[in-house]
Amino acid sequence: MTGSAVADDHGRRFLALTPQVALVLLGIGVLLLLAVPFGWRFHLWHFRLSFQMVAWARDLAIAAAVVAAIGLLFARAAIGRPGRLLAAAILVIGIAIVYVPWQWSELHGGPFPPINDITTDSANPPQFVAALPARAAEQAVPATYGGTATAQLQQSAYPDIAPAIVAASPAEAFARALAAAKASDWTILTSDPKKGIIEASDTTLYFGFTDDIVIRVAPDGAGSRIDIRSHSRQGRGDWGVNAARIRKYLAALKAAG
């Protein structure tokens, strides 16, 4: 058998195995994605490794989709109908794994700036008090606001983030603000109607990061002004999570009032 014939034989064998190879690649990627939520929650590894695992899973999904596509294009007869169905399913799943994060970024105004502290009042942001012990225990980033640089990045990326002005007394506005916070399924840390301050925390569903929220209700002319600040405990960026949280909260306030 000539070298060319041997190479052709190896090529045909590989093409016949493309569904299985793609399945292994995709399976490893899915296992990585399933493991990510346990890392930070149970202190098994640093959150940066979780981000890296997501990147690896994405690359494996791309590789699996490419291998599956090769099988569908060049080995339809060799892999048979079951192989074609498997390859088609892997191609769809692989594309979905890549598409979902990209779609999240598009829906929430990405690419996102390298900030994780978003507020409706960058000149005088509400201050964290009740959240500080938990932040210290977690060795979180400082709760001090980043000043003009952070404000400018926020304004450029999220120009719609603004305080809620309501035609209600501070007491009524505070009640609305607290009800909206409770309806958001946040963990309420403190609520002080005299000071007009509400503090809460919220844990992200997938990565398990805890973000802190502080709401301030103050008189504003004949009505009241409600400001909110959402700050991640870890990292530098937040993939738009804090801005999305504030938008959702403000929308709930608007719907309630």
Is residue 130 located within the same domain as residue 77? no
The domain tally of the chain equals: 2
Integer Cα distance of 226 and 256 in angstroms: 14
Chain centroid to Cα 240, Å, comes to 7
Q: Which domain holds residue 246?
A: 117-256
> Which of 78, 107, 136 is a domain's end point?
107
CA 232 – CA 150 distance, rounded (Å) = 14
Per-residue pLDDT tens for 180-201? 999 999 999 999 999 999 999 9
Distance from the Cα of residue 253 to its chain's centroid: 23
Residues 102 and 188 in one domain: no
How high is the pLDDT of residue 102?
A: 74
Q: Hey, what's the torsion of the CAs at 151, 152, 155, 161, to 10 degrees?
A: 0
Closest CA to 246 of 222, 207, 196, 211: 211
Q: Quote the pLDDT of residue 140.
A: 97
Q: Which residues of the chain have pLDDT under 50?
A: 1, 3-7
- The reported pLDDT for the residue numbered 110 is 61
Q: Do 172 and 101 lie in a common domain?
A: no
Asked if 252 and 231 touch (Cβ cutoff 8 Å), the reply is no
Model pLDDT, residue 100: 80
112 domain-assigned: no
Question: Could you read off the pLDDT of 31-59 as tens digits, one per residue?
Answer: 999 999 999 999 999 999 999 999 999 99
Q: What is the pTM of this model?
A: 0.84
Output the CA–CA distances (angstroms, integers) from residue 217 to 70, 96, 157, 173, 192, in the order listed: 59, 42, 25, 7, 10
- In terms of domains, do 103 and 121 share one? no
User: Are 71 and 103 contained in the same domain?
Assistant: yes
Question: In which residue are the tokens 């979180």 written?
Answer: 140
Q: Are residues 92 and 139 in the same domain?
A: no
